[in-house]
Chain A
């Protein structure tokens, strides 16, 4: 029997768990010319802000060991064009669309959610809480339990779509923040965002990126992502979209075992634009090889008994 790829993440029902992560596919249409993304479970779109953003100066990308830094700076068309033009076009592809919203105030998150909800074109909303909170001295929403709760509550008041909070693992205790999201009504979590990093040109003593620092993605961050998924799964029990350096079906299985019900693929698309579809196609037999009849039967099945690990350190 072919393994069942269908998943339900707090009301977000997908034919298969393979998603394109926010940021890599712009709004999906550009990638559609290279790969048939209708074979994927869905696409998480580039984060949208209330006003259009030009993004950061170049260079915006730099390859690093087993990964890359990016400093795009949330370039996007802004909420109005997003709802009037981009979303209808993306919805025309015929793949489930998840919108990613990024506000600089709680009120902005509320209006983003409201207007996007009203289009009726998205299956779920992901909140990008890596932006500075201008009402709290520029501290990121995502490192502050109070701010996470305020954002989730505000989005919830404006939309009953499945709501995923995307968290950064560059924090002391990600599970603590995940719990705050869970307690305020998030449907699930999206883990992890890129890790902050810096690359330097020694000859010029200058940063490699125009935006100075960037977000590290790719295989280099996979172990960090796996641990974040495992921590948050055990703590909250919420459905998780997991990602960070997924390059093949074995990586996909690892994320599921750690607790992810769906997978967000990003950097791999640059290495091989056809790989996400290949992973989706390869999942049924990969699940069979580990004795799983479905994705859901594999999620969160990491076995730690008998490892000899002591509590604490």
Chain B
């Protein structure tokens, strides 16, 4: 069923589900029924029902917000969307164990996307923060726009294996030094920004990482956008479940005002930056 312009609440079929690194799955969902009037943009997400309907769907009442990792076939004409999902709890465990051919309900695309118009773009991903930034990089590749991707992971075996597909400059960090530079990816941001001539910075990852990058960008006057994570119920700004405090403007609703925000609007949690 088509709802508001561009928004679809409908049923999809899992067309692919691959464990790309230990505990992380790339799950592609082919959308059935009416074709959405707009395709998702990098940074947008879907509310995905991660559970099958046995028992009338009463055991688990909340869908999970999953950001789009790629629109594999929108570019080539049909309707599918893929998610990079790390198993962290019951919902993601359930979704990752669903077989190809299983039906899932999903609502989207939702939320404010990244603005990727100001190139060259510096992208900084920490861990699963790579999910929406990979999509942004793919779109920039399709436009031939310049960017650099800095991606940090815990260890070599947790590096998202599809990063090699990207055409832009790629630099890797690992916490344990098993591949790329040892340390946190945020360690390299200041240097990269001063060496290069970047028009914008996009960051997605742990809160402390984004806080540190936001601070560096603010100091160097580079516009920075961050993609925030929050537990959500409705995904459309109705329930106020994902709301957090902004720096100056009261509350911001992560699902409908975001999830992508100008970093200057965000009051980051915790003081220790990494």
Give the B-binding residues of A (Cβ under 8 A).
23-26, 30-35, 46, 54-55, 57-63, 65-68, 70, 72, 75, 218-219, 245, 247-248, 267-274
Cα A271 to Cα B233 in complex, Å, equals: 8
* A23 touching B239, Cβ below 8 Å: yes
Q: Which of A57, A61, A62, A270: most chain B CB closer than 10 A?
A: A270
CB neighbours (8 Å) of A65 from chain B are 59
Binds A, one of B1-9, B29-37, B153-161, B211-219: B1-9
Contact across chains for A63 and B7 when beta carbons are under 8 A apart: no
Rounded to whole angstroms, the CA-CA distance of A290 and B60 in the bound complex is 29
A24: chain B residues within 8 A (beta carbon): 234, 238-239
**Could you say which residues of chain A place their CB within 8 Å of the CB of B237?**
26, 30
Complex-state Cα separation, A41 to B4, whole angstroms: 21
Name B226-274 residues within 8 Å CB distance of A.
Answer: 230-234, 236-245, 250-251, 256
Apart from A54-B251, A60-B240, A68-B62, what are 16 other A-B pairs with CB-CB below 8 Å? A23-B239, A26-B239, A26-B240, A31-B236, A46-B240, A54-B245, A58-B244, A66-B58, A66-B60, A68-B233, A75-B243, A219-B58, A268-B61, A270-B63, A271-B49, A274-B9
B164: interface (CB < 8 Å)? no
Q: Which of A32, A55, A270 contacts B243 (CB 8 A)?
A: A55
Q: How many A-B residue pairs have CB under 8 A?
A: 117
Which B residues contact A (CB, under 8 angstroms)? 1, 3-4, 7, 9, 49, 56-63, 90-91, 105, 107, 230-234, 236-245, 250-251, 256
User: From DSSP, what is the main secondary structure of chain B's interface residues?
Assistant: loop
A33 and B244 within 8 A (CB): no
User: For the complex, what is the distance from the CA of A23 to the CA of B239, rounded to whole Å?
Assistant: 6
Main secondary structure of the interface of A (DSSP, over half): loop
In the complex, which residues of chain B have a beta carbon less than 8 angstroms from the beta carbon of A268? Answer: 61
Closest 8 CB pairs of A and B: A33-B4, A30-B238, A61-B241, A219-B58, A26-B238, A270-B233, A30-B237, A63-B62
